[in-house]
Amino acid sequence: MKQARSYTLAEIASLLDLRLVGDDDCLIHGLSTLASAGPGQISFLSNPAYSKQLAACQASAVILSEKASEQYSGNRLVSNNPYVSFARATALFDDSNDQASGAIHPSAVIAETAKLGAGVTVDANAVIGEGVLIGENTHIGSGVVIEDNCELGRDTRLHPNVVLYRRARLGDRVVVHAGSVIGADGFGFAFDGERSIKIAQLGGVRLGDDVEVGAASTIDRGALEDTLIGDGVKIDNQVQIGHNCVIGKHTVICGCAALAGSVTVGEYCVFGGGSGAVGHITIADKVQVSAMTLVHKSIETAGTLASGTLASPLTEWKRNALRFQQLDSLSKRLKDLEKRVD
Amino acid sequence: MKQARSYTLAEIASLLDLRLVGDDDCLIHGLSTLASAGPGQISFLSNPAYSKQLAACQASAVILSEKASEQYSGNRLVSNNPYVSFARATALFDDSNDQASGAIHPSAVIAETAKLGAGVTVDANAVIGEGVLIGENTHIGSGVVIEDNCELGRDTRLHPNVVLYRRARLGDRVVVHAGSVIGADGFGFAFDGERSIKIAQLGGVRLGDDVEVGAASTIDRGALEDTLIGDGVKIDNQVQIGHNCVIGKHTVICGCAALAGSVTVGEYCVFGGGSGAVGHITIADKVQVSAMTLVHKSIETAGTLASGTLASPLTEWKRNALRFQQLDSLSKRLKDLEKRVD
Amino acid sequence: MKQARSYTLAEIASLLDLRLVGDDDCLIHGLSTLASAGPGQISFLSNPAYSKQLAACQASAVILSEKASEQYSGNRLVSNNPYVSFARATALFDDSNDQASGAIHPSAVIAETAKLGAGVTVDANAVIGEGVLIGENTHIGSGVVIEDNCELGRDTRLHPNVVLYRRARLGDRVVVHAGSVIGADGFGFAFDGERSIKIAQLGGVRLGDDVEVGAASTIDRGALEDTLIGDGVKIDNQVQIGHNCVIGKHTVICGCAALAGSVTVGEYCVFGGGSGAVGHITIADKVQVSAMTLVHKSIETAGTLASGTLASPLTEWKRNALRFQQLDSLSKRLKDLEKRVD
């Protein structure tokens, strides 16, 4: 891993608004974990379980809490929330935007009616349709296809080979990772007794500000109205959001989760990896759904949900799984027996 | 949402073959739900549960059944199947084909031996290989890659960045949404005790007429014979179809469902979201598989299948999930107790 | 299916190092199953369950074991491991590399500082960034995007529209199928009480030699250290590998499986279709995980794991699923009853 940037500890303390105890001039060129950090690197202590690694840590400085600071004599950056400060520190060493040149690659195909703000980067072979509006400093990666009349905010980034269907709207500071598709048709058909008749998907799709979408995820356009992704929503890889979902602000959706159509999700929810929800339900704020759990009905209060069974050795599992199929009858036999014993 | 087209009610009645009761000349420029439709829009009543919304509906006209029509005094289009008529009405306002210019973009790379029918559109940066045949009015989106010797029917549409591997064959009126991959290698390896030896995937893949494939879905080519997708099959986003599957006509496969290799599925089946089937099984016609259900053996009769457990609060679920691991022993204890009570 | 190559049986025996009993000069132009093979084709008998198909087989020759060979009078190729020999035979008829021209397509966009080995093929509209190193005979498909400073070994193949993020490293003889994304950001955020703060993903991603990745799969870059995929690992379509996973050599991961972040997987493991693992766990060598099973804790010994319940008719399932939610109380009632009977 190459980390080309470097800062003095004093600079880092100032940039992250942290109190520095130690050597102002110590030069830092990267970040690492407590266990593997070496000289020139910063580490962080957030989870008290790792406190014992502090003594042997070789990092040039550690981000930690006021309390932990008292027990550490090395260079330290004191934070109210060391994990958040660590997150902010990673941005200082991030090289992911180095390719943003502010230039339009000559191989890009851009419609004459598209309007690009100042500082927009368009990489090789990107295709931008008629009437597209792109805000300042937004970066369109190689091979991206933006269909007609899309609108993108400023400081937004589309990684390579992303596709935005016509009229998709993305806010400011949105990130969409490679291969994701925003605004494809929702899955709507009317069955006429012989075949499925396509319901043209006439709605749109809107992503608020500060939304991040992982790689190879899909967010469908609405049938009649728009699919809506709230500000600050974070979506991982290979997530599927059906048409007309409405996702509340700051909700987090982990990898391979899938929401069927017309699911309304509250704010600050968390969908675990591979979890899902059936269509046409409403989920309250701050609901957490465990990995691979299917939400099958509306949820009215905050809390954590789970479904499924625990992984066990195959032969053991098989015996229990067969009994699951007798569970209702086992229950009735138990009730019957209770009566007889009474 | 912009809906640029408009029609008089008389035109719509004629186009959809419906009986109009009301104002022939009323101008319609879009569709909406009963609850949110306004003047200039058509709505529809299909599910009787929404009948009470009819009275307050602001739509300029409503598509409804003969029976419901008797209780409505506004402009109405009477249909034997209002939902199907609604589906047909959406097509009138669909702008998704506006980009079909019938032109070949100069940046497209098309092999000399490829043969394109009349009216074919090829968008920017598409790549079309040797010996490819494309039927009339088919539309190849930006960034699509069609490898050598593929054959596509007429009025077919490949959305941006779709990939067709060599020799893939698609029928007429097929739609493949962005980022989907048709004809990649099936997952076949022979283990020699030390490593996995690749089984070259020599078969092909064929999609019948009127097939629709969602975004970021994958349909693998066969190992020796072809993977076959029947006429009228509808496949949602992020669906995975393994090599040598044979999918019967008009089957519907919802988002994130996955079929392992060599699964034979009947006609008019429905796979719910995130459902799946293990390999080398046969599923009868008209089988419905609930969301996130795994079909683990062949199914010989029509009907609906389900597996898994219901989502519940985490602590409650955990107690029950731990008991699941004792289920076989609980069952034996119950049997033992029954004997003793007898 | 067209299979353009042909060989005599003597050539095949020599190429695959098998003992031929029969006609040296018999011309073979393809492979098929015992049931459907015809003249000019080879078949194979690996699973004894298919022995009865041998007598009626129309193939020009059959690959089989020493033992099965004794009961067959036709042309035969005798192998210690007929399935592996069949796998090697498929390579003889594979046309998937016919497009490797060894040429750079004029529409490809290649940075001046990229270094391409002898015999490298770069197809139309591929984009190769600054400082990229590509080994001999590697084949870069159409529409592939390789960001700055990636390194690829020799005889490696990226199918169309694959994306490699900056600094990704792939070994020799790696295959990545269409639409897959290697090195996108891991899903890391620190919650500050109001919003999710991005943790820049500063690590990289490395794939060893002989790795195969299916279509539309995603392997994230690490947060601080690298995500590592061992030699010989085979990954199917739509698989998601989270940041900082370490996958041991020769492990096989089937379609739609998903590993959360920081999962350490041993060698020679098999993850079934749609299976998964929660983050920060360690899985021993030779663990097999059944389809759609979620591994929720570290696994210390080899063996096969399963979770979930078996698919059953919906109404039956519903009764049992409701009882699952009472399982802990059923268990307590049983215990109570046992005491009373005692």
Residue A5 confidence class, pLDDT cut points 50, 70, 90: confident
Angle at A240 between CA A234 and CA A246, to 5 degrees: 65
Kindly list the residues from chain C whose CB atom is less than 8 angstroms away from the CB atom of residue A331.
Answer: 323, 326, 330
In contact, C196 and C210? CB cutoff 8 Å: no
How many angstroms separate the CA of residue B57 from the nearest CA in chain A? 16
In contact, B283 and B266? CB cutoff 8 Å: yes
Pick the CATH number of C7-92 from 3.40.1390.10, 3.40.640.10, 3.30.70.2390, 1.20.1250.20: 3.40.1390.10
Mean pLDDT over each residue of chain C, to the nearest integer: 96
- Choose the mutation target among B63, B83, B125, B285 for the interface with A, i.e. most A CBs under 10 Å: B125
What pLDDT is recorded for position A4?
Answer: 65
ipTM of model: 0.96
C327 touching B, CB under 8 A? yes
Q: What is the pLDDT of residues A264-302, one digit of tens each?
A: 999 999 999 999 999 999 999 999 999 999 999 999 999
Nearest Cα residue in chain C from B307? C311
What pLDDT is recorded for position B1?
Answer: 38
Name the one residue in this structure whose structure tokens are 């393809």: C30
Q: Which parts of chain B have pLDDT scores under 70?
A: 1-4
Which subunits have 3 or more CB–CB pairs within 8 Å of chain C? A, B
What pLDDT is recorded for position A3?
Answer: 44
A109 touching C, CB under 8 A? no
Please classify residue B290 by burial: count the beta carbons closer than 10 Å to its beta carbon, then call 0-12 exposed, 13-18 middle and 19+ buried: buried
Chains B & C: contacts with CB separation below 8 Å: 246
A235 touching B, CB under 8 A? no
What pLDDT is recorded for position A342?
Answer: 84
Yes or no, beta carbons of C90 and B323 under 8 Å apart? no
Kindly list the residues from chain A whose CB atom is less than 8 angstroms away from the CB atom of residue B313.
Answer: 303-306
Looking at the predicted structure, is the pLDDT value of residue C20 above 60? yes
In contact, C275 and C291? CB cutoff 8 Å: yes
Angle at A325 between CA A320 and CA A329, to 5 degrees: 110
Q: What is the pLDDT of residues B276-286, one digit of tens each?
A: 999 999 999 99
Which subunits have 3 or more CB–CB pairs within 8 Å of chain B? A, C
Q: What is the pLDDT of residues A73-96, one digit of tens each?
A: 999 999 999 999 999 999 999 998
Distance CA B328, CA C336 (A): 18
Yes or no, beta carbons of C159 and B161 under 8 Å apart? no
- Domain ranges within chain A, ordered by starting residue: 7-92, 314-342
Yes or no, beta carbons of B185 and C177 under 8 Å apart? yes
In contact, A91 and C200? CB cutoff 8 Å: yes
Q: What is the pLDDT of residues B193-251, one digit of tens each?
A: 999 999 999 999 999 999 999 999 999 999 999 999 999 999 999 999 999 999 999 99
B124 touching C, CB under 8 A? no
What pLDDT is recorded for position B4?
Answer: 65
Read off the amino acid at residue B21. V
Q: What is the pLDDT of residues C157-183, one digit of tens each?
A: 999 999 999 999 999 999 999 999 999
Q: For the packed helices B314-324 and C327-341, what is the interaxial angle rounded to 10 degrees?
A: 50
Looking at the predicted structure, is the pLDDT value of residue C105 above 90? yes
Share of chain C above pLDDT 70, in %: 99
Mean pLDDT of A141-170: 98
What pLDDT is recorded for position C2?
Answer: 42
Yes or no, beta carbons of C306 and A312 under 8 Å apart? yes
Measured between alpha carbons, how far apart are the two ends of chain B, in Å? 71
Q: Phi then psi for C48, rounded to 5 degrees? A: -55, -20
What pLDDT is recorded for position B99?
Answer: 77
What pLDDT is recorded for position C3?
Answer: 44
Kindly list the residues from chain C whose CB atom is less than 8 angstroms away from the CB atom of residue B127.
Answer: 123-125, 142-143, 160
Share of chain C above pLDDT 90, in %: 94
A33 touching C, CB under 8 A? yes
How many angstroms separate the CA of residue B205 from the nearest CA in chain A? 22
Catalytic residue from among A159, A177, A243, A250: A243
Distance CA C12, CA C28 (A): 9
Read off the amino acid at residue A317. W
Residue A259 confidence class, pLDDT cut points 50, 70, 90: very high
Name which of A84, A105, A254 is nearest C190 (Cβ-Cβ). A84
**Overall pTM surpassing 0.90 (yes/no):** yes
What pLDDT is recorded for position C4?
Answer: 65
B129 touching A, CB under 8 A? no
Yes or no, beta carbons of A190 and B123 under 8 Å apart? no
Kindly list the residues from chain C whose CB atom is less than 8 angstroms away from the CB atom of residue A98.
Answer: 148, 166
Name which of B216, B252, B317 is nearest A307 (Cβ-Cβ). B317
Torsion of CA C289, C294, C295, C297, to 10 degrees: -170
Residue C48 confidence class, pLDDT cut points 50, 70, 90: confident
In contact, A72 and A78? CB cutoff 8 Å: no
Catalytic residue from among B29, B243, B250, B296: B243
CB atoms within 10 A of CB C71: 10
Yes or no, beta carbons of C177 and B184 under 8 Å apart? yes
What pLDDT is recorded for position B97?
Answer: 83
Share of chain B above pLDDT 90, in %: 94
